[in-house]
Amino acid sequence: MRQTIKDKLIEEFHIYHDGCDDSKERRLSLTPCSESGQELLVPTLSDIIYKNSWQIRKYSKAVLRKEKFDSPAFEYNVNGIYTKWNLSIRYWKGTDGKRVKSPVVLCLNLLNARVSDEKQTRIKFQFGVFNAQVMQWELCNVSNVTFNLENTKKMVSVGYRDLSIMDRHLQMPHGNLSIQVKLQISQNEVERNSLSQDMYKLMNSTESCDMRLICSETGTEFPVHRCIMSSRSPILAQSIEHSVSNNNTKNLLHQMSVDGKTLVTPSVENSVIKIKLDVKEEVLKQIIKYIYTDYVDHIENITEDLLEAAHWLKLPGLKSICERNLLEVISPDNVASLLLIADEFQCDLLKKSALAYCELNTTIVNTTCLAWRVMEMANPELFMEAQETGLGSSISSNMDSEDDLDEA
């Protein structure tokens, strides 16, 4: 019965949009336009998957004169959670200051929300672009975001992804472009009063914080609770103990090295310990979020840095999350780099998966990338393992070719 309900309640609504006319819009009646609109009531919120398709007509011409594109808003109201969203396309600028037409930045934006009370929700979304040559959708990897949903009319960018627009995506004869997003929100009665919810609230409360984690790159300080930090990471626990034992020296900086990483810990001042971590600010934010809640979000652009930090801070759960994230993006061009990462940070599952990928895709793996040369010189044992998958002759021949070129 549960599966039947889920199948029946998958709502698909398509919005067809002319790049020059934002008024052309169609909705299903289940999607409300005001507070008096209809509301879906379902056993579990995650039973609903929304698919929104946005067609930009004559995109190939419109992109020459328009600096940005915004879709019409789409709304829904399920189990007391009302949200309004839209998609937007923005562009990078090259080193010459000119706009780069591909890849574009595709963004998912929350325009406003109405909820009965503040809720921590998990938002899962997946972008896609229509391939007009084979008449199928090309889907990106699924992204997950943990989001504190509250009453707001302020626009928030929930997620974004670089998306390459190629000739095959333009629908002739007019050059139309179709973009899609699948959106799913997970939040139920059990989650409302869970330990993770309460810890998330504690993370955002600075009243009882007795410690600061400092980003070495920007100097930004993040208030935290030392008991939480020490209970989750043995490395932070060691650093905290080191600080407390040296609190009689007011201005002395104590240094600790772990796997080549330096933790710089000032002595205790006013009962507040400060620990500086050699990581990027966004990485530090996700480390803190994981330590408190067991969740991270939108880590696609920092996965490798986060994996490294999780390894030396001895956070095996966070390390597993990063490893699974990398498993989803193995490709012919990055498999060698991922093998090096997996071996360096002892990610057995990632290593086995990357080697299996090489064995199954010997004809398409990019054997000319620099990572193979680095592997051959720095990690010959791993290089031999890769050769044994069937890549041996192709890797060796490419290495030999490069040597011949160097000699020439």
CATH number for position 383: 1.25.40.420
Looking at the structure of the chain, the number of domains it has is 3
Residue 150: is its pLDDT beyond 90?
Answer: no
Same structural domain, 115 and 172: yes
Residue 50: is its pLDDT beyond 80?
Answer: yes
Does any domain span residue 155? yes
Residue 173: is its pLDDT beyond 50?
Answer: yes
Q: In Å, how far are 78, 187, 357 from 120, measured between CA atoms?
A: 15, 7, 37
**CATH assignment of the domain containing 283:** 3.30.710.10
What H or E segment, with its residue span, contains residue 321?
Answer: helix 316-327
- What is the overall mean pLDDT for the chain? 79
pLDDT, average across residues 359-380: 88
Q: What is the rounded end-to-end Cα distance, in angstroms, of the chain?
A: 71
Domain containing 290 equals 195-248+272-313
**CATH assignment of the domain containing 128:** 2.60.210.10
Same structural domain, 179 and 204: no
Does any domain span residue 253? no
Same structural domain, 169 and 223: no
pLDDT at 117: 74
pLDDT at 25: 35
pLDDT at 192: 54
Comparing 155 with 390, the larger pLDDT belongs to 155
Residue 267: is its pLDDT beyond 50?
Answer: no
Residue 311: is its pLDDT beyond 60?
Answer: yes
Same structural domain, 279 and 386: no
Does any domain span residue 407? no
Same structural domain, 110 and 160: yes
- How does residue 180 score in pLDDT terms, banded at 50, 70 and 90? very high
Does any domain span residue 15? no
Same structural domain, 133 and 217: no
Residues shown for the chain? 408
Does any domain span residue 38? no
Does any domain span residue 302? yes
- How does residue 86 score in pLDDT terms, banded at 50, 70 and 90? very high
Task: Using alpha carbons only, give the angle 32, 38, 41 rounded to the nearest 5 degrees.
Answer: 120
- Confidence (pTM): 0.57
Does any domain span residue 106? yes
pLDDT, average across residues 189-203: 74
pLDDT at 408: 41
Q: Alpha-carbon distance 202 to 296, whole Å?
A: 16
